[in-house]
Amino acid sequence: MAKQNEPLVTHIYTADPSAHVFNDKIYVYPSHDLEHDGEDNDDGDEYQMEDYHVLSLDNLDAPCVDNGEALNMRDVPWVSKQMWAPDCVEKNGKYYLYFPARDKDLRFHLGVAISDSPVGPFKPEDDYIKGSFSIDPAVLIDDDGAAYIYFGGLWGGQLEKWQTGEYVDDPAPIPADAAALGPQVAKLTDDMLQFENGPRQITILDENGEPIKAGDEDRRYFEGPWMHKYNGKYYLSYSTGTTHYLVYAVGDSPMGPFTYKGRILEPVIGWTTHHSIVEYKGKWYLFYHDSSLSGGVNHRRCVKYRELKYDENGNIIPMKPYED
């Protein structure tokens, strides 16, 4: 039985869960942490993931099933290493798995693979999505059928290196009092395989309508974007990275701007925080990870879930990871 705030599976290390409901079942698309003794560093070299397993639950009272390997980097021609946090969506009976990885020049891009089943196996496109870069893809299919992909991560995710629209290996540091970098968003083509137009940066504003500053590490964007809708509003949630919070901002358009609203989850055991938010049978759930299964090893993580609640004004009620 899948229990709140406990690892969904323990036979492998999993992280970065993207949860979706297809055909009244919950499917979770995590990354797969490999066991090794390499060093931890700011480039994320400790995260040596190379394949994806799809997890599923018939309902939240059922056991979590590992459906086996759905995609491996050896099957993706352009990939050299590090297939990190994925997402998957369904459109017209097909399932589209979006994933980041390093190309042969060690630059991160986004790829896409297709299946007739939510658990795969997925067949990848031969090349990455043109114009894509960085990490952490997340896709929203809006009420009108339009699909938007969100992505981007600082440091090891290389987002800083693409500020000019071209890759710069050693960009100048962003001043603390300058506007923080936001995640990127692009509308997808009808076939879900390319960007309709070039990606653009999302602006995240503070309560005074000013862009959040790069030095505001409690609120500024770092990685792990997720988009969901609640009561007609768009909720952009993300990780602050260095301060280890999950936070969110709200807007009226899938392209932004978004106004910062508050925290979702306090820091977990381990360095990273990465999540998804999904509605299932009238309730909302936060899927997230920590490193509790490995005793705190950053690159040996486990996926968990807990119920998420809103107040009467549509604000997400903040949670502490180790309290009910």
Residue 202 and residue 183 in contact, taking contact as beta carbons nearer than 8 Å = yes
Catalytic residue among 46, 136, 160, 223: 223
Burial 243-262 (b: 16+ CB within 10 A, else e): ebbbbbbbbeebebbbbbbe
Q: Is 16 a catalytic residue?
A: yes
Q: Please name the helix (run of DSSP H) or strand (run of DSSP E) that holds residue 94, with its range, or none.
A: strand 94-102
Amino acid at 287: F
Amino acid at 132: S
Quick one: tokens of 292?
A: 């509790």
Residue 95 and residue 139 in contact, taking contact as beta carbons nearer than 8 Å = no
In the block, residue with structure tokens 């970065």: 16
Catalytic residue among 6, 16, 37, 46: 16
Q: Is 223 a catalytic residue?
A: yes
Quick one: tokens of 217?
A: 């590490």
Residue 115 and residue 121 in contact, taking contact as beta carbons nearer than 8 Å = yes
Residue 140 and residue 147 in contact, taking contact as beta carbons nearer than 8 Å = yes
Residues annotated as catalytic are 16, 223
